[in-house]
Structure formats: C-alpha cells, structure tokens
Amino acid sequence: MEIQKVMVVGSGQMGSGIAQVLAETGYQVVLNDIKEEFVQRGLDKITKQLNRDLQKGRKTEEEKAALLSRIQASTNLEDTKDVQLVIEAATENKEIKLGIFRKLDEIAPENVILATNTSSLPITEIAKVTKRPEKVIGMHFFNPVPVMKLVEVISGLATSEDTFSIIEDLAKSMKKVPVSIKDFPGFAVNRILVPMINEAIFAVYEGISTPEGIDEVMKLGANHPMGPITLADYIGLDTCLAIMEVLYQGFGDPKYRPCPLLRKYVEAGWLGVKSGRGFYVYE
C-alpha cells in the first residue's frame, strides 16, 4: 500500500510537528482535533515555524505556501475516508487514546493503518480495542519533530510485517531514522531517559541542590546539552509523570516510583513550558 494522505489526530506540539514534516515531505495531511480553535492553534504553530525558516533563508515563500496548502483542517474523524494512515498524537492518557482508537476503528476504512505516537503505553493493549490489530503500530516521534531524527517504531504482538515495513519506509521518506523497538513499557528512550529525570527531581526533592544546580552539574559533569530539570519542563511534567506511572505499573519495580515532588507539581498544574510554570517560570 502506498501512503499518500495521512490524518494526524491531535494538533498540539507533537501533532502539529508531525503534520508539518509530513506536508514538507509531500504528503497530503488532515490535521484533526476536537475543536476548531485547537486545530487553528496547531496551524499557527506550523506557520510560526515556517516564518522562522523564511527569516533564516531555509525556505522560500513559495515553499511555505505549498506546504500549508497540503494541510487540511478537520474536527471530524469521518475525514479518514480517503487516508491510508492515521497517526494519533493526543495527550498521553490511556483512556483518551483507547477511546480514539475505538472510534477510528469504527469509522476508518478497514485498510487504514492506525499508528500511535504514545511515548510509553503498550501497543498491544491499544491494538486490542480494534478489529485490526495487525494494522496497529507505534510511531514515537521526538520533540521538536522537525528537528529530531529518531522515530521509535514499535510493533504490538499482532502487528504484521507489512504494516511495520510501510511505517519504516514512511519514516525514512520523512528523513527520519526509524529504529525497531520491542513493545515493553517506556520502549527504549523513555525507559532510560525519564527515570533519570525522575531521579534528578528526587535530588531536588531531597535538597541535594536546586533545579539550577542539578541542571548545571549534569551539563558540566555529564556533558548533557540540557539539564534534566529543564528537559522535564520541556517534555511536560504531566507527560513525565504519566511515563513513570506506566513504568512503575508495567514492571512492578519500586525503582520506577514517581517522585512525590513531580506528582505535586502536576497536581498544582505546574506542567512546564506549556503551562508557563514548572521548575522554572516561562513567559
């Protein structure tokens, strides 16, 4: 099957980034969300990024216009009628994602592949709520999508080799580097990265140092380009907590216990950059 048109469900930071790269590659894209204002916000993010590219000479006005012309706004999942692939990029909440996949399975033609950009949830469990588990797959992009090269491609127990091959080829066409990952909690990157971030938050919680101090020692002592506390704010503290919960429940190992300070910040609505406040304050 040749992919020509893709629906992206969720127009936030990840969804808009995925839509931008797909359109840049030449695919027709349907950018979907539950409200028009959300879709418009996603389109505004794409336009803002393209304007930066214009200023830096990376794109022309003609290229910008052509890219935007390939993106169609949508608030109706019925718009899957002429796509070959759906990439779900909704918030990292299992019940929300399962609900979307149940609806997509009912509405989308049976040949349509259903991919999820989940950063930690089991693909096999998501596939189970559909009647096409062989066509359900994980396609985990990284933020910011236009810049980050990696895509973790995760097959569930029932995912077919044909589905994997199609998604692998799609990622390569987007100039990404697809890496095959087994369907375990957290996959590969987040199983390694987020517990490190959680441990950094524990260091703040236990008074070992300030957020600034923890970031500084990891940048200078481990040569990290960005400190783990800053990185947590950029990922979203709610997303970090959700991943730690998946790891903790999935493995039943106390080493994955979420830091109480992380949980408290999420309860307070201090989610990081997207809310204007996390461990640092943002405009």
Catalytic residues: 119, 140, 152, 190
31, amino acid identity: L
CA distance 194 to 256: 9
Closest CA to 88 of 58, 113, 53: 113
- In angstroms, the Cα distances linking 209 to 76, 272, 279 are 48, 19, 13
Residue 281 token pair: 């304050």
For the chain, state the CA radius of gyration: 19
Cα-to-chain-centroid distance, residue 124: 18
CA distance 50 to 89: 21
Other CB atoms closer than 10 Å to residue 215's CB: what's the count? 23
Other CB atoms closer than 10 Å to residue 26's CB: what's the count? 12
CA distance 188 to 119: 10
